Amino acid sequence: MASHSHIGKPLPMTDAPGKVTGLGKYADDLTVTGMLYGKILHSVHPHARIRAIDTSKAEALPGVKAVATGKDAPNPYGILPIGHDERVFALDKARYIGDNVAAVAATSAEIAEAALDLIDVDYEPLPAWFDPLESMQATSNWIHEQKPGNVEKEYHHEFGNPEQAFAESAFIREERYYAGEVTHAAMEPHSTLAIWEPDGRLTVHSSTQVPYYLHRTIAEVCEMPMSQIRIIKPLVGGGFGGKSEVIPLEVAAPVLAKKARRPVKITYTREEVFYAHRGRPITIADLKVGLTREGKINAVAARVVQDGGAYCGYGPVTVLYSGALLGALYDIPNVRYDGYRVLTNKPACGAMRGHGTVNVRFAFESTLDQLAHDAGMDPVEIRRRNLLKAPCITVNGLRVTSYGLPECIEKAAERSGWAEKKGKLPYGRGVGIACSHYVSGAANPIIRSNMPHTTVNIKVDRDAAVTLFTGASEIGQGSDTIQAQIVAEVLGVKMERIKLVAADTDLTPVDLGSYSSRVTFMAGNACLEAAKNIRAQVFAAVAKKSGCDPAVLEARDDFIFSTRDPGLRMNFDEAAVAAIDFHGALVATGTYAPPEEARGGKHKGAGVGPSPSYSYSAQVVELSVDTETGQVRVHRIVAAHDCGKALNPLTVEGQIEGSVYMGLGQALQEEMIWNEGRLMNPSLLEYRTPTTLETPEIESIIVESNDPEGPFGAKEAGEGSLAATIPAVANAIYDAVGVRINSLPITPEKILAALREKEKQRGGKVARSNGGRR
Amino acid sequence: MNKELIRLKVNGEVHEVAVPPHKLLLDVLREDLGLTGAKRGCDDSSCGCCAVLVDSVAILSCVAIASCYQDAEIVTVEGIAPPGTLDPVQEGYALAGGAQCGYCTPGFLICTKALLARHPHPTLEEIRVALSSNLCRCTGYMQIYESVQLAIERAQAREAAKPAPVGR
């Protein structure tokens, strides 16, 4: 087809009307008759045995309809099959401040709150572990008895011959990097409404990225067959990974609803959201990178310790991603990786935008800049010299089918004025470049099975409305719109004709959810297949009716027409009716499962990292550092992102800019500050996600490498840009004032300390004229 | 708890509701009037998701006692345009990517409305400052600025399309 009708167009999101009128409903906006309000009692101790819980006073409070404790729902669960270590309410002991101990459902939120105060919990405090490096040396008081030594999981990978490669390297850098803990801070606090239906079924409306995992977990915990449970995802106010595992309230509400035989809604306060967490862990990365005299990266070795908090969650996946993608952005022949996921008495960490790749990418790109400096090479040039040549398979078995990184680097350098600025700006102002990449969905599901990762159904009725039934979860990223665009494009119909029924387990087939940036690629491919099937059925009917060969037919602008005979033209309404008359019904199913070749190697842990396709990003940050205050002001970020093909440039740009924004927050100001397991900044005011005032101009550049397997060539757009922002900021700070900060966030205090240290080493004040520049 | 009868004028309609004396405006709107457009995003008046207009000025309804606003004209996101129509501000956010997840959008719309009411042609810097008490976690704000600019263009276009007043 010469050009597309919908693909590649900056179309507004299909669900925008509900969002701009305030009429669209999020979970907490829902109420039903007889609804009770649920509240959860959280542990006040970071580590404590629970000797007894007395709920009698709470139960006696008028208005209280149910009180639940661990005994009401003892079945363990967890997002990974190897990590079923959580219970909706602690059975034997509490493992972090905020751990869930009991819950109340009452006729008002005030009564539920008052009832929590009446629950007596007899705690026996235990020694607690807060520092991951200390925790992994523990010989007693383990957080989980089945995890002696408090190490949740460790992985040791070696590809090529790193030792020999380091011995042959002309330049080697070894550095320790630290990244503080950050969290999603989606604007919508989690909320779940569980309705006990009169026929003994359960309907759950929840702020989830993955209805399927919630469906499975509620079935396990409530001991009900999945067929008796319906999960409906209403509008979701942002996820970023924080709604991708089952969050305790999502199970607590059904448990209470089942016990009370009434609908129960629980909505977290913002403080509870911070303690529910599942964000990016504190990461300590010891990184060693070797470079040849020609500027070729010879080897990388990393030892990564992640502070996972009190439960497994996605932990093993996070630590595997850190290793699997570390050496796969560039052509690196020798890689060693030692990853440790450590348990501590803090809220569990989990998946957050750029899952597992972000903190090690900060370490790697910072180190690469230092190596460029050692080799007397421009940071852009060193990256040019280490590119992969797609198609290829990386040393750790990742199949790369399309690779727009070279163009990303060139465009970012060009648009930022890199050549005129690098090393040439006045002292205090600098530029930095960094790259990153991310998966377009995981090639291997976390629950191993042979089922497709996505299934969609399309139904066309005699009114010629096209209804797409999809399990994919719109969470603000535009997945509903992208799927509608794909179906409308293939069928050659107007966007208004497409209706979406999405993320309702009674109506829509299984989809593995909105995480790991999988929806455009995987649900997109399933939509493509189903729509092509419908189109073939329509063409067959039109061909029969008009006595032509279906191969000459095309569909566009709500018409089916012949490419040979200008007189043959039928509108879609008529064609749909003809197809239904011809076939009996006009329905089709599309599925997607990643090809076998995309599923990675055979070593232990090889399942994480492989994807059918990878996105790429290169960014240049320009900023100023105030040497008196240490304050950083970012002026501009140019972000080039290879998304394969921008099915919708408006939403792709929104994703790139949002990723850069989130990376910038982690780079300069966001951090969860812990004191003995207590979060010192559990509010948006104190956690400080960037406002408009701290957010600079972001210029997004779309690079299209046209992936051979992506729908219309598309791949990931929603996460891959985040990781590059952080090291680009760090590298720009070095360019500006000549100090390197290896610890996130890069606060004014850290910059000032580094400037003072540098002055001390020079034995005098930093000269303003040429500054810290070499 | 004892309740008192209060009278609120919201989106041009008068409502009488019996609420506890300390009940917050946000909770009255959401729970008693079923107007769930204004959202609760935080516990400490730091996110702006709950903004509503009170006599054309944006306030945070999560820290406002409902009974104090009985004489005011309150407008929520549901009331910034007649049913079935969109205000230029809503069109701007819908068309230019200003609403991704949409949770912060009602607050942004209200604050944009308040800004444009007092300042129909703000500079980018003025938009940035006017929206600095609203948090968005999705967009990085770039498409929000574009949405505001599109809203201004659309408002101008509507103004230009209006027939000239008769008898002038």
Per-residue pLDDT tens over the stretch A165-211: 999 999 999 999 999 999 999 999 999 999 999 999 999 999 999 99
Q: Which residues of B touch A650 (CB under 8 A)?
A: 96-97, 143
Within-domain flag for A700: yes
**Residue A511 Cα, gap to closest chain B Cα (Å):** 20
CA distance A216 to A512: 12
Q: Which residues of B touch A692 (CB under 8 A)?
A: 128-129, 131-132, 134, 141, 144
A622 & A583 share domain: no
CA distance A288 to A564: 64
Three-state DSSP class for B148? helix
Interface test with B, best of A35, A187, A662 (most B CBs within 10 A): A187
Determine how β-strand A334-342 pairs with β-strand A498-502.
unpaired
Q: How many CA atoms lie within 13 A of B66 on its CB side?
A: 27
A332 & A417 share domain: yes
CA distance A272 to A682: 8
Nearest to B138 among A271, A476, A692 (CB): A476
Q: How many CA atoms lie within 13 A of A333 on its CB side?
A: 13
Question: What's the rounded mean pLDDT across residues A406-435?
Answer: 98
**Residue B158 Cα, gap to closest chain A Cα (Å):** 19
- A497-527 confidence digits (pLDDT tens): 999 999 999 999 999 999 999 999 999 999 9
A426 & A537 share domain: no
DSSP state of A495: G
pLDDT score of A773 more than 50: no
Write down all domains in chain B, each with its CATH number in brackets.
4-79 (3.10.20.30), 88-161 (1.10.150.120)
Nearest to B132 among A21, A271, A693 (CB): A693
Confidence of residue A448 (pLDDT cuts 50, 70, 90): confident
Domain count, chain A: 3
CA-closest candidate to residue A189, choices A264, A247, A233 = A247
Count of pairs with CB atoms under 8 A, one residue in A, one in B: 177
Nearest to A684 among B42, B131, B140 (CB): B42
Q: Which helix (H) or strand (E) holds A103?
A: strand A100-106
Q: Which residues of B touch A187 (CB under 8 A)?
A: 39, 41, 47, 49, 101, 103-104, 135-138
Is there a contact between A237 and B101 if contact means CB atoms under 8 Å apart?
yes
If DSSP states are collapsed to H, E and C, what string results for A161-204? Answer: CHHHHHHCCCEEEEEEEEECCECCCCCCCCEEEEEECCCCCEEE
Question: What's the rounded mean pLDDT across residues A576-581?
Answer: 98
Q: Which residues of B touch A186 (CB under 8 A)?
A: 101, 103, 137
Nearest to B77 among A15, A21, A662 (CB): A21
ipTM > 0.90? yes
Determine how β-strand A334-342 pairs with β-strand A297-307.
parallel
- A459-485 confidence digits (pLDDT tens): 999 999 999 999 999 999 999 999 999
Beta partners for A470?
A456, A502
Three-state DSSP class for A307? strand
Domain finish residue from A592, A613, A642: A592
Contacting residues for A50 by C-beta, under 8 A, at least 6 apart: A70, A90, A91, A92, A93, A94, A101, A121, A122, A123, A124
Task: State both tokens at A536.
Answer: 């073939």
Within-domain flag for A755: yes
Q: Which residues of A touch B39 (CB under 8 A)?
A: 26, 28, 187-188, 237
Most confident of A448-452, A724-728, A770-774: A724-728
A525 & A639 share domain: no
For residues A283 and A340, is the Cβ–Cβ distance under 8 A?
A: no
* Percent of chain A with pLDDT strictly greater than 90: 97
Other residues' Cβ atoms within 10 Å of the Cβ of residue B71: 9
Q: How much is the pLDDT for A2?
A: 56
A472 & A340 share domain: no
- A123-164 confidence digits (pLDDT tens): 999 999 999 999 999 999 999 999 999 999 999 999 999 999
Give the residue ranges of chain B where pLDDT is below 70.
1, 167-168
Mean pLDDT for all residues in chain A = 97
- A64-102 confidence digits (pLDDT tens): 999 999 999 999 999 999 999 999 999 999 999 999 999
A73 & A213 share domain: yes
- A16-53 confidence digits (pLDDT tens): 999 999 999 999 999 999 999 999 999 999 999 999 99
Domain of residue A563 covers 16-22+451-592
**Residue A647 Cα, gap to closest chain B Cα (Å):** 15
A491 & A633 share domain: no
Task: State both tokens at A561.
Answer: 């027409």
Q: Which helix (H) or strand (E) holds B6?
A: strand B4-10
A654 alpha carbon, distance to own chain's centre:
15
Within-domain flag for A231: yes
Q: How much is the pLDDT for A450?
A: 87
H-assigned helices in A393-503: 405-416, 418-421, 479-491
A619 & A743 share domain: yes
Beta partners for A288?
A174, A301
Nearest to A187 among B36, B43, B103 (CB): B103
Within-domain flag for A144: no
Within-domain flag for A769: no
Within-domain flag for A464: yes
CATH of the domain at A623: 3.30.365.10
Triad A534, A213, B100: Cα angle to 5° = 70
Nearest to B140 among A24, A189, A658 (CB): A658
CA distance A738 to A720: 28
Triad A278, A281, A285: Cα angle to 5° = 160
- B46-71 confidence digits (pLDDT tens): 999 999 999 999 999 999 999 999 98
Beta partners for A194?
A204, A264
Within-domain flag for A163: no
Domain finish residue from A254, A276, A298: A276
Q: How much is the pLDDT for A774?
A: 37
Contacting residues for A265 by C-beta, under 8 A, at least 6 apart: A27, A28, A30, A31, A35, A36, A37, A38, A191, A192, A193, A194, A253
Is there a contact between B101 and A187 if contact means CB atoms under 8 Å apart?
yes
Q: Which helix (H) or strand (E) holds B27?
A: helix B25-27
A472 alpha carbon, distance to own chain's centre:
15
CATH of the domain at A205: 3.90.1170.50
pLDDT score of A768 more than 60: no
A66 & A84 share domain: yes
- A320-359 confidence digits (pLDDT tens): 999 999 999 999 999 999 999 999 999 999 999 999 999 9
- Phi then psi for B90, rounded to 5 degrees? -65, -40
Nearest to A692 among B47, B93, B141 (CB): B141
A271 & A289 share domain: no
Q: Which residues of B touch A19 (CB under 8 A)?
A: 93-94, 99, 102, 105
Is there a contact between B97 and A654 if contact means CB atoms under 8 Å apart?
yes
Q: Which residues of A touch B139 (CB under 8 A)?
A: 654, 657-658, 661
Calculate the alpha carbon distances from A378 to A166, A361, A372, A695 in Å: 22, 19, 6, 28
Is there a contact between A691 and B133 if contact means CB atoms under 8 Å apart?
yes
Q: Which residues of B touch A665 (CB under 8 A)?
A: none
Radius of gyration, CA atoms only, chain B: 17
Q: How much is the pLDDT for B150?
A: 98
Q: How much is the pLDDT for A1?
A: 46
Nearest C-alpha in B relative to A11: B95
Within-domain flag for A697: yes
A80 & A221 share domain: yes
Q: How much is the pLDDT for A772?
A: 41
CA distance A398 to A389: 13
pLDDT score of A440 more than 70: yes
DSSP state of A246: P
For residues A731 and A433, is the Cβ–Cβ distance under 8 A?
A: yes
Interface test with A, best of B32, B131, B137, B154 (most A CBs within 10 A): B137
CA-closest candidate to residue A520, choices A449, A409, A438 = A438
**Residue B138 Cα, gap to closest chain A Cα (Å):** 5
Which DSSP string do the residues of A673-712 spell out, in sequence order?
-EETTEES--SHHHHT---TTT--EEEEEEE----SSSGG
Dihedral sign computed on CA atoms, order A389, A392, A398, A404: positive
A428 & A576 share domain: no
Strands in A488-610 per DSSP E: 498-502, 553-556, 559-562, 569-571, 586-592
